[in-house]
Each structure stands twice: as C-alpha cells, then as structure tokens.
C-alpha cells in the first residue's frame, strides 16, 4: 500500500512513482526540488518519461548514466545506486524499483556528503604517503618518543647514526643512547614540554653513543605533539650529526629535513612538519612533477628575492631559467633517483646585481605507493661566502708560492748578477710572461738606467731600450717616483702606451721598481707577446716581488762591495807579508854577516836584533796561517796523524820530544801540522832550552774522537789565565811579551776539525811544574 503524500514529503530521498502507462502517480517535494519544479504544481497523470527526459536527464553530467536510467524506467529494469553527478560539487544515487502491477518507482538519494568524504579521505591518504616518504628519505635522524622517552619509531638515518637495526631501537629508552654526561640537557628539554611549551626547541648539542665506535656529536631539535586537551602525547626528535661541522669550522648545517611524526592525528603531524620546514636556515621547496612550486619555506622565499605568493603555483624555470638545472630536474623526475651537488654556481637572470652565487643543493623525489614521482623536494644551502673564501685562500697561496719562488731564486745568488738573473728567470717562469729584463740605475747622477740582464728580448728592443733616460715619461714614474707602471694593448689604451709596447715588441708590459732602503735602484720589466692585459692579482704579486727583490739587490750590492774590499785587503796583506818577509830575510842575512865581526857588548846588541827579526818572521808566518784558515774551503779527509807528528818532531831537533807512535788516522787537512808546530814552539819559547815535551794519543770519552795531549816541563799556566790563553793577543802571567797568535791559531784549527782544546796542569794542582795542552780530533774510521 502506497504512503500518503505527506509521508513521502518527509522522506530525505526523492520519490517518483509511475503507473504501467508511465504516468506520474506520486512525486514528493524532494524530487520536485531536484527538478526545480514548483512545490504547488500537481504533476499527477503527467508523462513521466517526458518529465525525466526534459528535467532530470539534462542534470546528469554523464550522458551514458542518464541513458541507462531512462532505459531502465522504460524497460522496467531494476537499478540500485546508480551514481550520477548533477552539479560540479553535487552527487545523487538513482535506484529503480518495479513493484507488482506494472508500476515503476524511481528513488533519488543525495550522496554529496559521502562523495566529499571519500574524496577527502583519498587526499589525506595521499598526503600521508607524501610525508611518510619525506620521513624515510630525510638525511638526518628522526626519533618519535613517548613522554617517558621510549622510542616509538625511528627513520633509516637515525638507525644508521646509532649503527643499529631500526626494529632493535624501537622500544628502547632514548636516553640510553646518549653519553651519560649529556643526558641532563635532554631531561631539561622534556621538562619544558611537560610544563606546557609546544616547541619546536632547537640548538641542543649532545654526544650519542652508537653501537660501535666513538661517541658522535649531534644537534637535537624537538617538537611536542599534544592531544585535543593539550596533553603531551609524543616528542619528535630531529638528530643531526655535527661531526663534520665541528671538524670543518666553516661548514654550516646542510639540511634540516621535513619532520614527520607518527601521531594518530594526521593533521597535527602535518602542522608539525610545516613548523620544522619554516624554522630552518636551509632553503626548502616542494614542487610538483611539472616543477611548479607547491610549498616553500621563508628561507627559500627570502633567498630567491620573491615573496611566497609570487612563487606558489609558478613554474620554477619560468622564474629561474637554467637549461642545465632543468635537465637535472627532468632526470630526477623521470628516473626517481635523487641528486646532490656541492658549490654549484648560479646567476639570477632577473637579479644581475647578485653576481654568481654558489649552492649546495639536493633534489629528492617523493614517490607514491606504486613508485610514481608525486613531487620533488629541493633543498639549497648558500655557500657563496665559503667558496669565495676558498678562492681567496687559493689566490693568496698562489701569490705566496710565486713570491717564495722569486725570493728563493734571488737568495741563491752570491753575486749581484747571479741574483738578478735568478730573479728574472723565476719571475718569468711563474707569472706567465715570456719577455723580461732588469734595469739598474747607473752610479753618479742616476739619470740613466741600463739593462743588467735580459731574457727573450729582441735585438731591436735592446738596441732601442738598452738604456733609458729616467727623467722622461713613463720611466720617471718608475725610477724617480718609485711607482709601478703597467701598459696594456687594449682597444682603449692611450696612444703613448701603445708606442712603448711597440718599442718593446710586446702586447702588455709591467715596469716594477726595485727599492732598497727607500731608494729605487732598478726596475724589473716583464712583457707578454700574447696577452694584452695584466690581471690585477698578477699586478699585486709583481709589486710584492719588487719590494722583496729590492732588499736582495741591496744584499747583492753589499756583497759585491764586500768582495771588492776583501780583494783590496788581500792585496795589501799580500804586499805586507811578502815585503816584510823579504825585509826580514835581508836583515837576518846582514845580521849573520855582522856577527862574524862583532864581539862583547856589541855582539849582545846584535843577538837582540836577530831575536826581533825572528819574532817578526814568526808573526808574518802566523798571519799567513790565519789567512789560509779563513780562506781555505777544502773538505776534511783522512790524514795519518803519526806521520804528521813525526815530521814536526824532525823539524825541531833541538827540543827533547817524547812520543809513542799510535798508528791512527784523523779527519783533517793540510793545515794540521800547524797545530803541532805552534804547540811545540810555544813550549820551547816559554820552557827554555832544557824543556821536555811529551805527546800522547788515546781514545777520548766521546765516541769517534781521539784525545791528544802535548805536555811540557815549562813554567805552566796559572789557573786565572787558563780560560783566556787561547784568545788572540792575551798572554798568561809570567810569559814573555809577544803577539799570542800561535795558541789562537791552535784554537781555530781544532774548531775547524770539529773538536775542542783546553789547557790543564801537567801535574794536577801544581801549575808551576808545567802545562798540558789537550785537544780532540775526530777519528777517521774505515
């Protein structure tokens, strides 16, 4: 039995009842509203098929579904829940029932709310997969803990950080993985969350203990997850390994990845991750597969020079065109493989004032359950300052290397000419020039500068520029004012610069003054036959070279003057020693002739004269010996010590000398006999005709040395004179007057052979019974 009309109007579904002739029997208000028909219009008996074709079917977006519905009514076929869209945001479900007696019942239910709920559910599932992918792919460790600190979940990076399996970590206490001394900082942070702080809280640095190896320094960031009543349910921890940042002081934090929680409330998880994304210095952006911006953080927007509203929905490469980067984006999207690069240069087309910037960046695909790429996570870190600092260090190192090479070359020359040639070669070899010369100011009026050395300079250039008038431009700027001058063969170069370049036969030219003691002494001239410009860095290096080489030039000039003075002194010394020796010999000959004719007091005067002549001869010999010691550069070689001593004993037949042959070889040279000559003569001079000399050789306490002792029975050396006796022109108490060069020569020779010399008492504690001169010589071992 059919319901009354009032009952039908109370239903939430639209109802249309047709009789066997497809005429309207009953229609409720919901159905009339659906067809936009007036409520007071009586449709009883109307053609139902015409009504459906003209008012219902046009509302259905899917014409196939509309056809199925009309066919079912016409053919009296049952349909259940045929879903039809009747507006962009409205859905209905149509059902056809066939009661007994040939009637047809059409029911229309509004399912818009259900369809929207299904659509929202699908979107939330997709967003959940998106954040899950971000959680898994994050390069930093993420830990989800309950308020008591138990680990509920951890991503792959966190497990790798602790060198443990992910499942093994779940259920353990997070504090157990922190070095005991650092746990208080974590407890304090949890206490702040329990006190009502939501976070995020960042910048806590602790050390974590992995399963193997040393503790790892990490930076912790945390965010609280609360329920609808504000109660603390979970704490999300971001753990970043900061080992590299500590080891490399200039390294910044590279990436603070999107934080993803595992909270039941998906909306809260999304808000937390958005918060993490905003509170990072890393530039982060999420793009769809067509490279349109879906989301960016504040750091990215500020770094790009655009507001967020200007970025969202725009194509990345419409704003920042770069074919190379676009190819990388397409490869990541098409292959699903992430991409990372360090210090990649980039220039903003619409912001040329920023110049070239450098970025560490990564591009990570976000995939759905089937592996399809849903979008791309772009993270960027501006490392322009770091790259520029590294380039500056490289430039400085190159500058120091070139400067060191030139200084080393200049220091290797003993003469001024060697110094200048070495300097020129080093400058040309290290600075990229191929033509060079060094000019030196002529002495006197200093108005002319002459080429002192040159390399690869043409005959034409030498003929025209071998001598420069320093009063004329541009040479007065270099030689008078002491300022460097650079000439470049560029298109806008002055004509007079081009004339100078033509004279020297080069494309660019550098004149660098060489300054010594605030005075210009010359100039280093370098040219390039190929490069028309001289870089600023090369100019700075050249100016530094000019300052450093100037002191070397001064040293070379002083060395040359010293050599000249030394040659002059040697000339005078040669004249003195030669002429004094000849004069002494002649005087000695005449003294011997007079001795045959004189007697008595006159003969005593003659003996004193002959003694003075002998002393003069001794002094001349000592001076010659000292000169040989100073000038001789012969290397030490094995010398038969016994042969040397025997030969010296033979030269003094009037002196009683006791010696036991040792049969040893020492490292010395041809001057070794002078050592024994002076000691024997010294003993005879001070001990008189009855003196007895003893020479002994034995092993010294110092390994590899021999101990040689020359004792005499003379008057000895007082204790107060023992230290000064080897000093030139000083004598011990009670000795005859004299020049004292003999013992000084002994000290010089022993030092020359690497040994030492001193004087002792022949009888310990009794200096008046004679002296013992002791020295060491290095033994020559096979």
State how far the Cα of 34 lies from the Cα of 452, in Å rounded to an integer. 110
Helices H / strands E in the chain, number of each: 24, 28
* pLDDT on residue 733: 41
* pLDDT on residue 732: 43
For residue 724, which of 675, 759, 769 has the smallest C-alpha distance? 759
Residues with pLDDT less than 70, the chain: 1-6, 131, 134-137, 249-270, 273-274, 276-277, 394-400, 402-403, 405, 407, 409-414, 444-445, 550-588, 590-634, 728-740, 782
* pLDDT on residue 260: 45
How do strand 656-659 and strand 692-699 relate by DSSP bridges?
parallel
* pLDDT on residue 623: 61
* pLDDT on residue 197: 81
* pLDDT on residue 625: 62
**How many residues comprise the chain?**
782
Q: Show the tokens assigned to 57.
A: 């079917």
Coil, helix or strand at residue 364: strand
What are the distances in angstroms from CA 599 to CA 590, 607, 733? 16, 11, 34
Q: Which residues make Cβ contacts (< 8 Å) with residue 439, sequence separation at least 6? A: 449, 450, 451, 452, 468, 522, 523, 525
* pLDDT on residue 772: 93
Q: Is the peptide bond before 200 cis (omega within 30 degrees of 0)?
A: yes
Contact 236, 274 (CB under 8 A): no
CA dihedral 456, 405, 557, 572 (to 10 degrees): -110
For residue 345, which of 401, 383, 304 has the smallest C-alpha distance? 383
Average pLDDT, the chain: 81
State how far the Cα of 448 lies from the Cα of 430, in Å rounded to an integer. 29
Task: Please state the pTM of the whole predicted model.
Answer: 0.35
Query: Taking the mean position of all CA atoms in its chain, how far away is CA 507?
Result: 36
Sheet of 705-712, strand order: 656-659, 692-699, 705-712, 771-778, 757-761
């Amino acid at each position: 039995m059919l319901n009354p009309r009032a009952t039908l109007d109370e239903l939430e579904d639209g109802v249309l009842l047709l009789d066997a002739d497809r005429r309207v029997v009953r229609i409720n208000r919901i159905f009339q509203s659906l067809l936009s028909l007036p409520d007071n219009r009586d449709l009883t008996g109307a053609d139902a098929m015409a009504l459906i074709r003209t008012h219902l079917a046009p509302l259905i977006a899917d014409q196939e579904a509309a056809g199925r519905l009309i066919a079912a009514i016409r053919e009296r076929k049952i349909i259940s829940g045929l879903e039809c869209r009747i507006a962009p945001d409205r859905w209905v479900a149509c059902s056809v029932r066939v009661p007994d007696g040939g009637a047809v019942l059409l029911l229309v239910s509004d399912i818009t709310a259900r369809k929207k709920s299904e659509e929202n559910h699908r979107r939330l599932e997709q967003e959940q997969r998106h954040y899950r992918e971000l959680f898994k792919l994050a390069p930093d460790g993420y830990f989800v803990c309950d308020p008591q600190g138990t680990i509920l979940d951890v991503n792959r990076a966190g497990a790798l950080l602790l060198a443990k399996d992910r499942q093994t970590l779940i259920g353990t206490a997070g504090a157990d993985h922190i070095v005991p001394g650092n746990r208080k900082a974590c407890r304090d942070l949890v206490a702040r969350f329990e006190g009502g702080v939501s976070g995020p809280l960042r910048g806590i640095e602790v050390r974590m203990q992995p399963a193997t190896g040393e503790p790892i320094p990490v930076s912790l960031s945390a965010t609280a997850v609360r329920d609808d009543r504000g109660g603390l349910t979970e704490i999300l921890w971001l753990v970043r390994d900061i080992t590299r940042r500590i080891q490399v002081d200039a390294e910044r934090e590279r990436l603070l990845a999107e934080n993803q929680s595992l909270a039941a409330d998906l909306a809260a998880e999304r808000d937390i991750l958005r918060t993490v994304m905003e509170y990072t210095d890393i530039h982060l952006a999420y793009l769809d597969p067509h490279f349109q911006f879906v989301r960016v953080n504040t750091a990215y927007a500020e770094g790009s020079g655009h507001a967020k509203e200007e970025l969202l929905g725009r194509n990345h490469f419409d704003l920042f065109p770069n074919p190379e980067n676009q190819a990388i984006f397409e490869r990541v999207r098409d292959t699903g493989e992430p991409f990372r690069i360090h210090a990649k240069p980039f220039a903003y087309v619409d912001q040329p004032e920023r110049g070239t910037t450098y970025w560490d960046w990564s591009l990570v695909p976000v995939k759905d359950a089937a592996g399809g790429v849903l979008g791309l996570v772009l993270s960027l870190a501006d490392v322009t300052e770091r790259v520029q600092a590294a380039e500056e260090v490289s430039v400085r190192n190159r500058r120091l290397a070139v400067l060191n090479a030139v200084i080393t070359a200049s220091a290797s020359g003993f003469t001024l000419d060697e110094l200048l040639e070495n300097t020129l070669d080093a400058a040309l070899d290290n600075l990229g020039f191929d033509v060079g010369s060094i000019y030196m100011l002529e002495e006197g009026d200093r108005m002319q500068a002459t080429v002192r050395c040159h390399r690869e300079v043409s005959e034409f250039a030498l003929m025209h520029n071998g001598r420069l008038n320093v009063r004329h431009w541009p040479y007065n700027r270099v030689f008078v004012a002491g300022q460097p001058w650079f000439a470049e063969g560029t298109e806008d170069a002055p004509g007079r610069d081009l004339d100078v370049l033509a004279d020297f036969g080069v494309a660019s030219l550098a004149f660098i003054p060489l300054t010594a003691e605030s005075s210009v002494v010359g100039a280093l001239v370098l040219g390039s036959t190929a490069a028309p410009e001289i870089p600023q860095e090369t100019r700075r290096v050249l100016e530094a070279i000019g300052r450093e080489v100037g002191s070397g030039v001064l040293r070379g000039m002083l060395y040359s003057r010293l050599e000249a003075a030394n040659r002059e002194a040697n000339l005078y010394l040669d004249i003195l020693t030669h002429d004094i020796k000849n004069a002494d010999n002649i005087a000695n000959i005449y003294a011997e002739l007079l001795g045959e004719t004189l007697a008595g007091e006159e003969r005593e005067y003659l003996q004193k004269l002959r003694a003075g002549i002998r002393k003069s001869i001794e002094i001349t010999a000592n001076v010659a010996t000292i000169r040989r010691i100073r000038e001789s550069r012969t290397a030490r070689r094995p010398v038969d010590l016994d042969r040397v001593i025997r030969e010296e004993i033979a030269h003094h037949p009037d002196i009683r000398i006791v010696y036991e042959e040792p049969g040893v070889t020492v490292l010395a040279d041809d001057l070794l006999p002078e050592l024994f000559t002076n000691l024997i003569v010294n003993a005879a001079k001070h001990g008189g005709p009855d003196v007895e000399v003893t020479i002994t050789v034995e092993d010294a306490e110092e390994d590899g040395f021999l101990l040689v002792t020359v004792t005499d029975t003379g008057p000895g050396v007082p204790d107060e004179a023992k230290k000064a006796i080897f000093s030139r022109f000083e004598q011990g108490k009670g000795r005859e007057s004299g020049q004292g060069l003999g013992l000084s020569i002994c000290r010089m020779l022993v030092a020359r052979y690497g040994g030492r010399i001193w004087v002792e008492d022949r009888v310990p504690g009794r200096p008046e019974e004679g002296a013992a001169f002791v020295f060491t010589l290095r033994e020559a071992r096979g």
